[in-house]
Amino acid sequence: MTIDFIPPNTVEVPEIPYDSKVELPAQRTAVIVVDMQNDFVKAEGSLEVPAARETVPHIQQMLKRARELGITVAYTQDTAIENDPEFDIWPAHCIRNTWGWHIIDELAPEKKDMVFQKNRYDGFYGTGLDHFLTRIWHVEHLVIVGTVANICVLHTAASAGLRWFHVVIPANGISALTTFDQALTLRQASYLYNGHVVRSTEHIQFVRSEEGKERLR
Amino acid sequence: MTIDFIPPNTVEVPEIPYDSKVELPAQRTAVIVVDMQNDFVKAEGSLEVPAARETVPHIQQMLKRARELGITVAYTQDTAIENDPEFDIWPAHCIRNTWGWHIIDELAPEKKDMVFQKNRYDGFYGTGLDHFLTRIWHVEHLVIVGTVANICVLHTAASAGLRWFHVVIPANGISALTTFDQALTLRQASYLYNGHVVRSTEHIQFVRSEEGKERLR
Amino acid sequence: MTIDFIPPNTVEVPEIPYDSKVELPAQRTAVIVVDMQNDFVKAEGSLEVPAARETVPHIQQMLKRARELGITVAYTQDTAIENDPEFDIWPAHCIRNTWGWHIIDELAPEKKDMVFQKNRYDGFYGTGLDHFLTRIWHVEHLVIVGTVANICVLHTAASAGLRWFHVVIPANGISALTTFDQALTLRQASYLYNGHVVRSTEHIQFVRSEEGKERLR
Amino acid sequence: MTIDFIPPNTVEVPEIPYDSKVELPAQRTAVIVVDMQNDFVKAEGSLEVPAARETVPHIQQMLKRARELGITVAYTQDTAIENDPEFDIWPAHCIRNTWGWHIIDELAPEKKDMVFQKNRYDGFYGTGLDHFLTRIWHVEHLVIVGTVANICVLHTAASAGLRWFHVVIPANGISALTTFDQALTLRQASYLYNGHVVRSTEHIQFVRSEEGKERLR
């Protein structure tokens, strides 16, 4: 048989081609922070992803560098209604205007930042994200960080990749509930979208100079 | 550390909850056959997925049963242009009006079937698929089969899941290039979208009776 | 010549087929209030539509009837950023978090209502409106009121019509800057989308009974 | 009263600001030919728009000039299924694979041109048009011609305008069933989208030089 149609309990991970450095032109780049909300990140959150807390300092430092160069920073915010149909799949979480719905203080948006409320996993689905990236900000490169890696991060990265944004994902800036889910996220992101994955947010350089300006693809 | 942010070479697959039987109401169901085109399925194809050939008889038999009950069958057809930007990622494939672009004879669409040509992985992206499913056919349940599992099948299933279609995927009706990719497809499909995965197309029953008609979700 | 390709200064309006009564099933209907914000409605607003004020009591009374039957009420809220590109076309208006951006007190949303912020004319573009109408609320009939008739009302009605929602527009619930613009809105809405136009909000009846439940189209 | 909420039989047309010349950079422009199909254009067509025939030579000559400069030409093709729900509004028309569905010979697409089949009025709805314009061709300016002016032309122009394409419409390249409908198309196109309307296709110049390359908006 060519593959195991019904996978065994343990599988080999295809090699993930981490880049040692990615340079992105500040003018053409946006950083998207996905769903770093109390319900996902905090120990008291209703849908806690413990690994998410470990990503916070990495994201903070990268945001600091990005903001210093005037790079656009945008947020997605998972936003459920009471009795949301998603609660048939998940515990109730991120109900609008509740504590759990708010973005964590450590990564609080600045006043000028756009926060895209979304009802489902994909930051592009049912939001103005594509419009702002493409028609207002005219960016081509996206750094995507946040949680949950294989859920809202990956679905957002997929929609970005389909639209030929150049998507960069740092492994230490995303978090999942299992190592398998982390692995599949990095596999898909590096394999399918002509983006780049790096081990660390520190491997992403934002540059002001013109030479980084040409499209990477 | 909570998870391996940089995954090791081998990982454990979270348990995939296969259903032993799924019953779907004929009136409210569509079968979507994803990208079963010469370039992907045939040994001479430019982007061969060897496992795809093993899925053909399973898909054939299920389509036969579906058609007998008048169930809607729709196809996606990957459609590239000359010098398609996707050829920076993949070998040239599925260029419109070439041999490799055609759906394999074994699964040839019938005259009344809709074939949705798409330029990227997701059958919903840049096509009329959502319009036909939702506004014309008024279906709620989708059986998705075809190739490549973690690429066009999964991206199409994801878009369907976001829209709250009930998505059913049989493991022996989808094919990937590696077992890891097959595993991640079944993981995501069973974990994220409130759909169902089954081991075999034979575990999917189409029923005419009213009792299957209520929404499964 | 068949028509005036360059229209003269005065034109005949095609007959608009006003219905004398439209009955809508409460369970399957939503009312959408478009852009009734201070900047458009109030004399001090930066993009005042004087006729909008005349529609307020009509909309209020209809909303009261709708809410009594538990009908879903949704709002669109035009939402510009500083230096929005739309300000090349229009005076600055509806900048988020300013006075002009707020929905007028007379039609203030209730806590449970969804308000869809949009950056451009069409309430469906870059928002979750379609997702909520179709996937969450499962409605089929829309009453659309608000302002500006030929801009945000008509573009929202068009997107609804393309998706085969049954769209009902009352002439005294929408407002334009010129009579021509009002006329073209009613022409398009009655001619193209299989919807209905009525002279007055009072000609719209919401019914609880089952007999109104079948699709009107 | 501020306006006639119920318009009279005859109305004044707001002044339409025709440009005497629009220059478009060849590299950044696409021409979109909307629905110039037998059913709409030919006397034997099932949904004849007599004025459409008068536009054919104007469109032909403009296409010739555009093709000489290598400008992208794309087509929309209205595509109905048997028993299409649109036939509750219109006579049956443009059923796929019938004579009436084909684009008229006088404007036949060249082999390399993309033809976007659409089921509803808007060329962007349920098609890959946006993806090709934005992600593949990277164009910013659109000349839109074809029929029916206030239906498929205007809905396509609206979707383009919302996305901040610069939309140019020549009055002698579009056709409607009534002069009112022609007037409303030109009104909306010139008033709402920051595009330009011109009286004649001859007022549109395609330029190769760099100076036309900057965005017009």
Find tokens 């950056």 and name the residue.
C119
Query: C202 burial class (0-12, 13-18, 19+ CB within 10 angstroms)?
Result: middle
Greater confidence (B213 vs B65) lies with B65
3-state secondary structure of C78: strand
Q: Could you read off the pLDDT of A41-97 as tens digits, one per residue? A: 999 999 999 999 999 999 999 999 999 999 999 999 999 999 999 999 999 999 999
**Overall CATH class of domain B22-209:** alpha beta
Half-sphere exposure of B87 (CA within 13 A, CB side): 13
Please state which CATH number belongs to domain D22-210. 3.40.50.850
List, for chain C, all residue ranges whose pLDDT scores fall below the cut of 50: 211-217
The answer to whether B134 contacts chain C (CB < 8 Å) is yes
Q: Could you read off the pLDDT of B132-171 as tens digits, one per residue? A: 999 999 999 999 999 999 999 999 999 999 999 999 999 9
Pick the CATH number of A19-211 from 3.40.50.740, 3.30.1370.160, 3.60.20.10, 3.40.50.850: 3.40.50.850
Whether the pLDDT of residue D212 is over 60: the answer is no
Under an 8 A CB cutoff, do D128 and B114 touch? no
CA-CA-CA-CA dihedral for C87, D24, C4, C162, to nearest 10: -60
As a whole number of angstroms, the distance between CA C163 and CA B132 comes to 10
Across the range A160-182, mean pLDDT stands at 98
Across the range D90-95, mean pLDDT stands at 98
This prediction has a pTM of 0.96
Chain D: residue nearest A165 by CA? D135
Residue A194 has what pLDDT?
82
Residue D216 has what pLDDT?
39
Q: Please give the structure tokens belonging to residue B118.
A: 């798409």
Residue B213 has what pLDDT?
46
Identity (one letter) of the amino acid at C155? H
Whether the pLDDT of residue D197 is over 50: the answer is yes
Residue-averaged pLDDT of chain B: 95
Under an 8 A CB cutoff, do C13 and D4 touch? no
Sorted by where each begins, the domain ranges of chain B are 22-209
Q: Are C210 and C160 in contact (CB under 8 A)?
A: no
- The single-letter DSSP state of residue A152 is I
Q: Give D215→chain B minimum CA distance, Å.
A: 25
As a whole number of angstroms, the distance between CA C165 and CA C61 comes to 23
Q: Give C110→chain D minimum CA distance, Å.
A: 28
Q: Are D145 and D201 in contact (CB under 8 A)?
A: yes
As a whole number of angstroms, the distance between CA B94 and CA B103 comes to 10
Residue B87 has what pLDDT?
97
Please report residues of D whose CB lies closer than 8 A to that of C184.
180, 184, 187-188
As a whole number of angstroms, the distance between CA B5 and CA A200 comes to 10
Instruction: Report percent pLDDT > 70 for chain A.
Output: 96
* Chains sharing 3 or more CB pairs under 8 A with chain C: A, B, D
Whether the pLDDT of residue A164 is over 50: the answer is yes
Q: Are D39 and D45 in contact (CB under 8 A)?
A: yes
CATH architecture under which domain C22-212 falls: 3-Layer(aba) Sandwich (3.40)
**First and final C-alpha spacing in chain D:** 36
* Strand duo A166-170 + D166-170: pairing: unpaired
- E strand or H helix that includes residue D76: strand D72-78
**Which candidate in D76, D81, D121 is best for mutational testing of the B interface (most B CBs within 10 A)?**
D81
As a whole number of angstroms, the distance between CA C114 and CA C109 comes to 8
C 19-78 → D contacts, CB under 8 A: 50-51, 54
ipTM: 0.95
Q: Give B165→chain C minimum CA distance, Å.
A: 9
Under an 8 A CB cutoff, do C181 and D164 touch? no
The answer to whether C138 contacts chain A (CB < 8 Å) is no
Find tokens 């089929």 and name the residue.
C140
As a whole number of angstroms, the distance between CA A168 and CA A209 comes to 19
Provide CB contacts within 8 A for D140, sequence distance 6+.
D28, D29, D165, D166, D215
